[in-house]
Amino acid sequence: MYNLTPYEQETIINFNNAEKSAEVYTCDKRLMKKLSALAEEFPDIYKLKTEDEYSKTYIISDKKYIKFRKPYLRSKNTENREIIEAKMKAMREAKAVRNERQP
């Protein structure tokens, strides 16, 4: 396979409101591997359209399988983590007290 610079390893996702399907053109080896595995497992949804020495184009029969998610931000979970850590500390202390009482 042809070696491309990271800048050249682009991915283009193309779909519109009038059609149900989407097209994914990629030069990213990791994404090609993932889409190839999906095409093998779900041939009714993911299909390899074309390929050349450095890229592949896939057709996704239903664009609902293209996902855009909220980012996972650790900073928002800091409060939850502190609460969980405090509960775990209290549980460990309670267990230690119970163990001290046993002969």
Q: What is the pLDDT of residues 29-84, one digit of tens each?
A: 999 999 999 999 999 999 999 999 999 999 999 999 999 988 776 665 677 788 88
pTM of the model: 0.66
Residue 1 reports pLDDT greater than 80: no
pLDDT at 55: 95
Ramachandran class of 93: left when φ > 0, alpha when ψ lies in -120 to 50, beta otherwise: alpha
Residues 76/35, Cβ–Cβ less than 8 Å: no
Read off the pLDDT band of 95 (50, 70, 90).
confident
Edge-first strand order for the sheet with 46-51 is 11-14, 22-26, 56-60, 46-51
